[in-house]
Amino acid sequence: MNSVTHPEHADLDFALTLADVADKIALSHYNSTSLVVESKPDDTPVTQADREIEQTLRERITEQFPEDKIIGEEFSESLTREQIREQLANGRHWIIDPIDATKNYMRGVPVWATLIALVIDGKPVVGVVSSPALGRRWYAADGQGAWTTDAVIEAGQPPRQIKVSEIRSLRYASFSFSDPAEWDEADSLGALNEFSMNCWRTRGYGDFYSHILVAEGALEIAAEPDLSLWDVAALIPVIKEAGGEATNFQGEDALFGPSLASTNGLLHFGVQGILAGETPE
């Protein structure tokens, strides 16, 4: 996939070149019968592609920006929310999820992506979500809007700017969620049921894709109760630059987790009420 760079934003330019590198590595292992899959201590899977992508991107970032810090899913120490907040408060930090939706990747389901973010002084200012098996890429930088490229765009055509929808009522809203077991563990099954009963359409697209569809205006609400820094950092700029809103379930900064609720902004207050246990009118 050829990257389309944004003028006058060198960091986004660089992040898009990183995504090009990640795409090539990920696709070289995708649907391979020799793909090596292991279990991490938390029983989640990790593949050789995850590790190769993160290691390669770390090397490229260090070459280009030797003073910048890097936090990635596979090669960073486990940190508490407060430790993450303290660490990200000052300076430049690149946040990497080499393959979001690894379970999809290892099973041949094409809904997976590399997530790359740049956080400066605690604020996500660049986000790139690259999904080569879908032939899609989404990206944003602070003040530059949110954009997408896809494989069906003819060579030389400009990227397409994306915007959230203008739907203002739950009864006309589409909602996407993650595994109900996670909602159960978070004691949020009641909220999940309220969304399912009150929204026009409910589907479990899951992972990065739910939130990206909110940014594109295809959905109005997406929510996941259990996420890590690298799961959300790249999504936040895309959602917000598309005109949407992204917080955790408590209405706080989504960057520090442990959950993510993304909306078209118009519905965010009502969504927060449901997540707090209120019954929609």
DSSP, collapsed to helix, strand or coil, labels residue 262 as strand
Predicted structure pTM score: 0.92
Domain ranges of the chain: 10-161, 170-275
CATH of 10-161, one of 3.30.540.10, 3.30.2350.10, 3.40.50.300, 3.40.50.720: 3.30.540.10
How confident is the model over 39-97, as pLDDT tens digits?
655 557 678 889 999 999 999 999 999 999 999 988 877 778 888 889 999 999 999 99
CA distance 225 to 250: 11
Confidence (pLDDT) at 31: 82
Fold of 170-275: D-Maltodextrin-Binding Protein; domain 2 (3.40.190)
Distance CA 272, CA 206 (A): 19
Cα separation, 107 vs 105, whole angstroms: 5
Alpha-carbon gap, residue 107 to 274, rounded angstroms: 34
Interatomic CA distance for residues 167 and 37, integer angstroms: 42
Q: In the chain, how long is the greatest CA-to-CA distance?
A: 55
Give the chain's residues under pLDDT 70. Answer: 1-8, 32-36, 38-43, 45, 151-157, 281
